[in-house]
Amino acid sequence: MNKNTNQLLHFLFVLFLLASNLQLYGQDYIIPLWKDSIPNEIISKEYLEINTDKGGEIESSSFVSKPTLSVFLPTAMQPNGTAVLIFPGGGYSHIAINKEGTKVAKWLNTMGIIAFVLKYRLPSDKIMHNKTIGPLQDAQEAIRYIRRNAKIWNIKKNKIGVMGFSAGGHLAATISTHYKDKVYVPSDNTDARPDFSLLIYPVISMNSEITHLGSQTNLLGTNPAIELINTFSNETKVNSETPPTFLVHATDDTVVPVENSINYFLALKKNKVAVEMHLYEKGGHGFGLGRNETSQFWTAHCRKWLESHEYTTGSGFPQ
């Protein structure tokens, strides 16, 4: 079976999935990210994915070796042409697939946005020849996949953004600053640049003074070389082509210091990239869609930002 036949069958498969879900808006379906072999892969029969569920819903995934995209379509309205690719957090050791994935996707659906949740490979020497680029390979291919198949979902190719939480925020910032990096050989020349970034209590830097050390160790290994730290300290990689960004952080975050967002904000501002940042006095870390502190208002501010950039419609604040 040649490459063109494979691509045609894959396209027809996606069409079938979409058609079978037209009457089930809001129900997700899952697509394997890589059609053929996974780049950078080491096959290990002992490395098996583990999913933790609660009340019938998967809360967390770990030991991920086969990345997937879960697709969420709006229920109460027609899609508006915008898509957001979500990277849940978990310190690059697990993926908080429900709180920072499924729940967020359904919230984005209320604005007419089609949401994709990426279950990305977690960096591991057991399944990757180079674990530092594994998550970025998945992120680049996910953007390319959505843009390549945009017509299927009536997505506008210039309205595909990324959204990341904690370590997922690091991955979102990495794809936003390393989208041109040649970390694998893509099947075509589809652009991997996101059109905008939503970064929620993100790890931005690998600098030991402000990073989340667990994320640093899991991605870069113990005692990483300074060159490697600099490469994945995304505040140092911002330029004028970095996507417009919306940042959220709580100043009392003791897990990922607020300086991560502040330094990224300053780098964007220096390069004249459109950026908005909301810092909340209380909220801690990992507040997802919000807690009963000032951080609970971030979703309204984010919605207003999306509206102002014409990525959604409707008021971002209660009337």
Give residue 57's pLDDT. Answer: 84
Give residue 27's pLDDT. Answer: 47
The average confidence (pLDDT) of the chain is 90
| Predicted confidence (pLDDT) at residue 19 exceeds the cutoff of 70 | no
Residues 6+ positions from 244 with CB-CB distance below 8 Å: 195, 196, 197, 273, 274, 275, 309
The residue extents of the domains of the chain are: 3-308
Give residue 50's pLDDT. Answer: 95
Record the pTM: 0.90
Residues 6+ positions from 79 with CB-CB distance below 8 Å: 73, 112, 113, 114, 153, 154, 155
| Predicted confidence (pLDDT) at residue 168 exceeds the cutoff of 70 | yes
Look at residues 116, 104, 49 and name the one whose alpha carbon lies nearest to residue 299: 104
pLDDT digits (tens, 9 = 90+) for 43-94: 999 999 999 988 788 899 999 999 999 999 998 788 999 999 999 999 999 9
Task: Measure the CA–CA gap between 78 and 243, rounded to whole angstroms.
Answer: 26
Query: Hey, which bits of the chain come out as E strands?
Result: 29-32, 50-54, 57-62, 68-72, 83-87, 114-119, 160-165, 197-200, 245-250, 275-280
What are the angstrom distances between the C-alpha of 79 and each of 24, 28, 114, 116, 167?
Answer: 14, 15, 6, 13, 28
Give residue 296's pLDDT. Answer: 84
Look at residues 183, 69, 187, 73 and name the one whose alpha carbon lies nearest to residue 133: 183
Q: Which CATH class is domain 3-308?
A: alpha beta
> Residue 183 half-sphere exposure, CB side, CA atoms within 13 Å?
24
Give residue 77's pLDDT. Answer: 83
pLDDT digits (tens, 9 = 90+) for 236-289: 999 999 999 999 999 999 999 999 999 999 999 999 999 999 999 999 999 999
Write the single-letter amino acid at 200.
I
Look at residues 179, 173, 228 and name the one whose alpha carbon lies nearest to residue 206: 228
